[in-house]
Structure 1
Amino acid sequence: MTKYIHKLFLLGSVLFLSASCDSEAELTTLKTVNFPSAIEVSSSTLVLTEDSADDNVLLVSWPEVTFPIDAPVTYAVQFDLIGDTSGANAWQKATRIVVGEDVLSKAFIGLDLNKIATDLGLLPGVAGKLVVRVEAAMDRKIYSAPITLTVTPYEKSVVFGEIYMPGFYQGEFNVGTAAALTAISKGIYQGYVTLTPGNGTDFKLNTARNWDQYYGAGATNNDLKDMSEPNFHLPGEGSYQIKVNLNTLKWSATPYAWGIVGSSTHAPTPEDKDYGWNHSIPMSYNHETKTWKVTANLLAGALKFRLNDKWDVNYGPADPSTNTINKDNGGAYDIGEPGTYEITFTINEIDPATSGYPATATCTIVKK
């Protein structure tokens, strides 16, 4: 009998302690949290245009949400198509924009809202429906009731042919002789530039060889803004492949240089008997002639061309008696006499990223 009395005592103690713990530490996730009132939008019908791309076209605002825990609340705004907001996969395809902690509104410029609308599938020039809601997150996520928007996006006009890059790499800004960036697809342009020591890094992007329309830096150095006064900046001296996307209003600069390589470019060293084959001499890009060029003191020996000091892309002559060089060819030119040489390399690159490199290029090797 005593054994059973002890078991009852222990069971009672456990129940008492459990009740005490529950009263001291509330399970906050069991408390209901809601948006105290509806969210608001500045307009529910929006006709977007390229002229208002940089203007605030939509303001979404919401009331403060109170959670049982005293901590910052992180808010986000979600956009989606009406058809994707119900069922098992509701809101899974939504575009989500994090706003921040304890922030109670978010403004959208025309360019950003246009991208959201078209990315979700709305057709340019056609009124379509989007829904927007606000997410509040702390120990869990809760959502406001959605609001339906009628949005007419636009298709951005793009320039075909060439755009131009006046800048300090020229010595001074000169749009008449600036590097041309060639269209490689709709609204996307590519070109090359070499920034020599002592020149500034600033440049602009112009749609013609005049100053009627140009782009300068926007929110960041890599954002394009129409007729913006702040200049863009290159990373520093060196050669770069420049890409400009007028569809997304972004640009990028990637270190990029053709170079000469081979036993003629450098004598063996105690540490590396193949030093000349393992270290390219970079060439500089002449944007006016669209050729790569270097003047170098060469030894008697072999010479060929490669990209970015690597063997991934290289050219050698199938017939060393000609100026034609072939991609991935093992041949090399024979430099018979030491001396100073001026060497050029010309290649017709359309879009290496998608089309690869051409089968042949041309070069000149002239002793000074």
Structure 2
Amino acid sequence: MKKYINKLFILGSLLFLGASCENDSADVTTLKAVSFPSQLVASSGTIVLTEDNADANAVLLSWPKVTFPIDAPVTYAIQFDLIGDTGGTNTWPKAKRVEVGEDVLSKALIGRDLNKIAIDLGLEPGVAGKVVVRVEAVMDRKIYSELITLTITPYEKSVVFGEIYMPGSYQGWAIETAAALTAIQKGIYQGYMTVPVGAGPGFKFNIARNWAQFYGAGATNFDLKNMSDTDFSLPGSGSYQIKVNLNTSKWSFAPYAWGIVGPASATADQTASDPNYGWNHSIPMSYDHQTKTWKVTANLLPGALKFRLNDNWDVNYGPADSSTNTINKDNGGAYTINEAGTYEITYTINETDPATTGYPATATCTIVKK
């Protein structure tokens, strides 16, 4: 019996020592002072940003390693704010944060990114303004470097104008009627087009509505090569969003089609097999690149009708007032088709650059019985 009591005593002592060690470690980690051993350093304290140098490094920020009581990775981030927002009880409330990573002790920012930070903080384009910067180090707690001040002159992004053109098999290679791609950024163009069933997939990109200068395929289908005889190609019939980047000499496409949806767009046979077919399947519209209008001629049934993008509900439009031809983004309303028959439906939307500006609050449509 005494032997077992001794064993229990030893075991209890070990558990107590283990708990004491854990508590001591926690105390040491929590109570030991941690700080940046030296100051954050910027490669330049005065920075003038321009659109021409937007993709070049504007500033390099570097800082010393922070040593915490335990050996583990330290996560760093940079914060930018206005001088007036760094005092009082609610400090750095509008700070713009740039994640850096674990055990990384420097970060270079290109002009485009630093310009966005400056504009978002309220600096006036073309005028020198001051922002403060500090580094955050995180392990079991957050600590901050002393702040430094940068004088930044941001630029205002210029309004971009211009077009390039896309002649191809889909429209008989006529440069006069080729789809136009509109500039959405400097050197970047975007447009929409439909390849009809039975049309060939080939096309080119032309700088003007002539053949004085054009681009064909280079090393791959997506590389632009000046005056190349090799056609670019699309996968086949359907509607597409096309983007061309003359800065990188690349182009890309994505399947893209507005469509009609609702019980009115379902046929009798489809409704018989699936009562919700009309809500589950859109009828795609084709893009008329000359009028910049989406169109479809369809046999409709009595029922509701709305518009949505790419056969899903992420982007959809319905009328707030069904007595008008104006339709509203994410509106639950629908048009009512009272009489079955063949209808011609059009849909027009301003799609300057949905990726950066989003989709507009309204679009327009027509629904006409033939």
TM-score range, shorter chain: 0.5 to 0.7
Looking at structure 2, the residues matched to 174 and 147 of structure 1 have their Cα atoms a distance apart, in angstroms, of: 59
Structure 1 residues without counterparts, runs of 5 or longer: 1-12, 184-188, 240-255, 319-323, 336-340
- Decide whether aligned partners of structure 1 residues 165 and 257 sit closer, same or farther in structure 2, where only a CA change above 3 A counts: farther
| Aligned position for 2:251 | 231
1:101 partner amino acid: E
Describe the superposition over 1:260-309 as per-residue Cα deviations: whole angstroms up to 9, x where unpaired: 8638834365544675687543222222233434466x59x658853126
Describe the superposition over 1:53-89 as per-residue Cα deviations: whole angstroms up to 9, x where unpaired: 0100100011111111111111111111111111111
Other structure's SS at 1:330 match: strand
Aligned-pair Cα RMSD in Å: 4.8
Looking at structure 2, the residues matched to 23 and 264 of structure 1 have their Cα atoms a distance apart, in angstroms, of: 69
Contact 2:131 2:151 in 1 (8 A): yes
| Aligned position for 2:232 | none
Looking at structure 2, the residues matched to 128 and 316 of structure 1 have their Cα atoms a distance apart, in angstroms, of: 47
Of 274, 289, 292, the match for 1:290: 292
| Aligned position for 1:356 | 362
1:1-368 equivalences under 5 Å are 21=21, 25=25, 27-159=28-160, 163=163, 166=166, 177-180=178-181, 192-194=192-194, 227-234=247-254, 236=255, 238-239=256-257, 256-258=258-260, 262=264, 265-267=267-269, 270-272=272-274, 279-294=281-296, 306-308=306-308, 313=318, 328-335=334-341, 344-350=344-350, 353-358=359-364, 361=366, 363=368, 365=370
Other structure's SS at 1:71 match: coil
Identity within the alignment, %: 48
- Please give the TM-score of this superposition, normalised by the length of structure 2: 0.64
Looking at structure 2, the residues matched to 172 and 34 of structure 1 have their Cα atoms a distance apart, in angstroms, of: 70
Looking at structure 2, the residues matched to 230 and 190 of structure 1 have their Cα atoms a distance apart, in angstroms, of: 12
- Decide whether aligned partners of structure 1 residues 294 and 61 sit closer, same or farther in structure 2, where only a CA change above 3 A counts: same
Higher percent of residues as helix: 2
- Decide whether aligned partners of structure 1 residues 165 and 118 sit closer, same or farther in structure 2, where only a CA change above 3 A counts: farther
- 1:120 deviation in Å? 0.5
Looking at structure 2, the residues matched to 305 and 111 of structure 1 have their Cα atoms a distance apart, in angstroms, of: 43
Contact 2:42 2:62 in 1 (8 A): yes
Other structure's SS at 2:61 match: strand
1:265 partner amino acid: T
- 1:17 deviation in Å? 7.0
Looking at structure 1, the residues matched to 204 and 34 of structure 2 have their Cα atoms a distance apart, in angstroms, of: 52
